[in-house]
Amino acid sequence: MTVSKKILVVLPSNVGGAERVTVTISGFLISAGYDVKYVILSDRIGSIKDILPVRQTTELVKIRNIWDFTITKLVKLLRRERPAYVFSSLRYINPRVLMAAKIVGGIKVVVRNDNGLLTARWDNKLLMRLTYRWANAIIAQQEEMRQELIQEMHLPEKKVHAINNPLSTHEIDKMMNAPSPYPETVGKKYLCAGRFFYNKGQDLVCEAFKEVLAQIPNAHLYLLGKYDKEDPYFIKVNRFICDHHLGDQVHLIGHESNPFKWMRHCDCFVLPSRYEGTPNSLIEAMYVGCPVVATRCIPMIERMVKNGYNGILVEPENIHEMAEGMIKACDLHDFKMTYRPGTPQDFLTLFEQ
């Protein structure tokens, strides 16, 4: 069946887990025959261009920050494009998209929450409370997040859908087969992926790794993810590395366009988070066959990881338990995926209403 509905997908210029999931979902729409156009809110098109389908139309809506007349600019765009749907997937963008669509009228909106409300700023939470009732459908990454949205945003249950994050398996399969990025001379290779942020817990994995070295002296820890050298949290982590003379064995890789080759060839993937929405990197690591260590920072992680089978579960902020888990996890092999990703039809249904 040929589908001609136009859908605008609104994104920021940089890449994180939420952006990757958004592009994966939009790929399902493209495969189903929808006319998808990407709208980038930024002063430039940054690293997001690396993960967008090359044949799709992309438009830059220039803003210096989210307060730079974003709604006005989106209204102008929607009036010109007249899409059937707009799809956005980040809490600070979603209310602006909903307000612009409400002003223009006749445009349906599907939004996805990239995280729970615990980490939302008060002003953004207020905007969500005011605007989410206008959405045609709201995607929550898990049932706990769905109930939180229904209760705190006072939303009807039928509007909020709990759908597990999808996996772009075709893309992962292609990228994970790239050559190993690790030197052949290193011993056990531990990987932690995510932008440097307190909730992500890079400081915790560095402390745990120091204990690991007492038992595995030739181990190495690789930290993937965007960082700002002026950021206080990054400075704290880097100071710990320097103060404990770990610089030769803890490697700050920064942003990596292909994290899957790092996952495929490491001995253990570590998720040391204090809090998460749904950790895409953990799902991806398990998919490529990497044993994991993960904190029980949200209930869903205990449903994703089968303790002792494909990973080791530890309590948040328990450094000693994390270090022990990192040592034990390297002995786990030949396991199957225990997480059920969202299917294309799970998401397509929301755009057929």
Q: What is the reported pTM?
A: 0.82
Residue recorded with tokens 């799809």: 87
DSSP 68-128: SSHHHHHHHHHHHH--SEEEE--TTTHHHHHHHHHHH-S-EEEEE-SS-GGG--HHHHHHH
For residues 321 and 279, is the Cβ–Cβ distance under 8 A?
Answer: no
Out of 119-123, 306-310, 317-321, 346-350, pick the least confident.
Answer: 119-123
Q: Rounded CA gap, 95 and 109, in Å? A: 10
What pLDDT score does 4 carry?
66
pLDDT single digits (tens) 257-281: 899 999 999 999 999 999 887 888 9
What digits encode the pLDDT tens for the residues 181-225?
999 888 999 999 999 999 999 999 999 999 999 999 999 999 999
Cα separations (Å) of 108 from 56, 57, 277, 285? 21, 20, 25, 35
**CA–CA separation, 335 vs 328, rounded Å?**
15
Mean pLDDT of the chain: 93
* Residue 14: per-residue pLDDT: 87
Residues 16-44 pLDDT 10s: 888 989 999 999 999 999 999 999 999 99
Cβ–Cβ < 8 Å for 91, 120: yes
pLDDT of amino acid 55: 87
Range 48-57 average pLDDT: 89
